[in-house]
Amino acid sequence: MSLSDDLDRIRADARAALAAATDSGQVEGLRHDLLGRSGRLTALLRQLGEVPADERPALGRLANEVRAEIEAGVRERQAALSVDDLEERLASETIDMSAPGRPVPIGHLHPVQTLMRDLRETFHAFGFEVFEGPEIETDEYNFELLNIPADHPARDLWDTLFVAEPGSVEAGEPKPARDGTILRTHTSPVQLRAMLALDAPIRVLAPGRCFRYEAVDASHGSEFFQLEGLVVDRDTSLADLKGMLEEIARALYGRDVRTRFRPGYYPFTEPSVAFDIGCLVCGGVGCPACKRSGWMTILGAGMVHPTVLRNGGFDPAEYQGYAFGMGPDRMAMLRHGIGDIRLFFSADTRFSSQFAEGR
C-alpha cells in the first residue's frame, strides 16, 4: 500500500471523526492521535525520507495539504463546539426580564416614632414648630425652674436617675453629680429652654426621650417618650387650650371621640388639668384597659404657672401661656392594641416589623 493511500485514509478518517465529534475533548483527542508527537500523520511524515527522490516532492505536498486540512478542521470544529457550549450556557441562564424583582428589605419607623410623626404633623397645622432639648439635663431645668424646689414633695412624682459625681462610683460610694446633672424625667424642662431662647409668641413642640427610675412592668418603662407643647402669648386662655386639645383628639382618634377635662396637679401649671378620651377599647362601657372607668388619660396640661413664666423671662402680667405633655408610648399602645410597653425597647424586629406603615 502506498504512502499516498495512507495519507488519503488519514484525511478521510479525520474528516469523519471531526464531523462526529460532539465536544471539544474529543476534537483535542483526535488532534493528538493524528498530529501529536507519535500521531499517525507524524509517523507517516517520518517515512518520507525513505521514499524515492522523484516521488518525494509530490508526496511532501500532499502530506502538508493533509496536515493543513486537519489543523484547520480541528480549529473550526473547536470554534463551532465552543459556540454550542456558549449557546447551551446562555439557554440555561435565561433571565426573565418580566419577573418581579427580589424585594430589598428596607427599614421603617418604630411605631412610637410613627405616632410622634403623626402628632407633629397635626400640631404643625396649628402653627407649632419643633424645639428640642437635651436628654441629659440639670436639676435646675428639670425641677427648680419648673417651680419644683429641692425638698418639694412633688419630686416624688419623678423618680430620678442621677449622673454620678466623677470618681464616686470608683470610690465605692456613688453620689449624684455636684453640678446637678441628671437624666431628664420629662420634656417639661424644654419649656424653659424655649422661653429663654425665643421671643413671644411661642408655639413649640418638644418631642423626646425621658428616663425614670421605675419598677419596670407592662405599663412602665425606665425609658420612654414624651411630647411636650408650649404656647406663650398675650391673651392666651384655658379656653384656647381646651379648644385646641379637643381638635387634636378629633384629628387623632376621629370626629366622634369623646373627651373630658379633669382637675389635676402639676407644680408648673395653674390651674392644671388631665385630658381624657373615651376608652378606645370598650367605647366607654368599662374594661381592663381603662381600669373600668370608660376613660383614658392621654395627657396632662394647664396654664403656665406665673413663676415659670417669670423664670423664662416673661412678665405674667403681660403674657400667659399653656402647656401640655403627652405620652406617645401609651398612645401607640392604644393605637395598635399593644399590651406591654417593654416590647418598644426590646429591639426585636419580629415585633417592630408588624408596624411597617411608618415609611
| Residues making contact with ligand DAH (CB under 6 A) | 186, 188, 228, 266, 269, 300-302, 323-325
CB of 204 or CB of 301, closer to ligand DAH: 301
Extract the C-alpha cell encoding 154: 412633688
Nine-digit cell string for 137: 439635663
Q: Minimal CB distance to ligand DAH: which residue? A: 325
**What's the chain look like in SS3?**
CCHHHHHHHHHHHHHHHHHHCCCHHHHHHHHHHHHCCCCHHHHHHHHHHHCCCCCHHHHHHHHHHHHHHHHHHHHHHHHHHHHHHHHHHHHHCCCCCCCCCCCCCCCCCCHHHHHHHHHHHHHHCCCCEECCCCCEEEHHHHCHHHCCCCCCHHHHHCCCCECECCCCCCCCCCCECCCCEEECCCCCHHHHHHHHHCCCCEEEEEEEEEECCCCCECCECCEEEEEEEEEEECCCCHHHHHHHHHHHHHHHHCCCCCEEEEEECCCCEEEEEEEEEECCCCCCCCCHHHCCCCEEEEEEEEEECHHHHHHCCCCCCCCEEEEEEECHHHHHHHHHCCCCHHHHHCCCHHHHHHHCCCC
Q: Which residues of 101-113 are buried (b: 16+ CB within 10 A; e: fewer)?
A: eeeeeeeebbbbb
Min separation Cβ 188 and ligand DAH, Å:
4
Minimum CB distance to ligand DAH smaller for 44 or for 341: 341
CA distance 63 to 80: 26
Q: Name the residue nearer to ligand DAH (CB basis): 186 or 193.
A: 186
- Report the residue number, 147 or 352, with the smaller CB distance to ligand DAH: 147
Instruction: Return the number of the residue (236 or 352) whose C-beta is nearest ligand DAH.
Output: 236
Distance CA 148, CA 308 (A): 10
Q: How far is the CB of 236 from ligand DAH (least distance, A)?
A: 13
Closest approach of Cβ 143 to ligand DAH, in Å?
11
Instruction: Write down the least CB distance from residue 258 to ligand DAH, Å.
Output: 21
**Nearest approach, Cβ of residue 304 and ligand DAH (Å):** 7
CB of 286 to ligand DAH, least distance (A): 25
Q: Nearer to ligand DAH by C-beta: 312 or 325? A: 325
Decide whether 188 or 236 has the Cβ nearer to ligand DAH.
Answer: 188
Instruction: Provide, rounded to whole angstroms, the least separation between the CB of residue 268 and ligand DAH.
Output: 6
Decide whether 73 or 327 has the Cβ nearer to ligand DAH.
327
Q: Identify which of 352, 344, 351 has the alpha carbon closest to the alpha carbon of residue 219.
A: 344
Q: How far is the CB of 183 from ligand DAH (least distance, A)?
A: 13
The least CB distance from residue 273 to ligand DAH, in Å, is: 8
Task: Considering the complex, state which of residue 143 and residue 344 has its C-beta at the smaller distance from ligand DAH.
Answer: 143
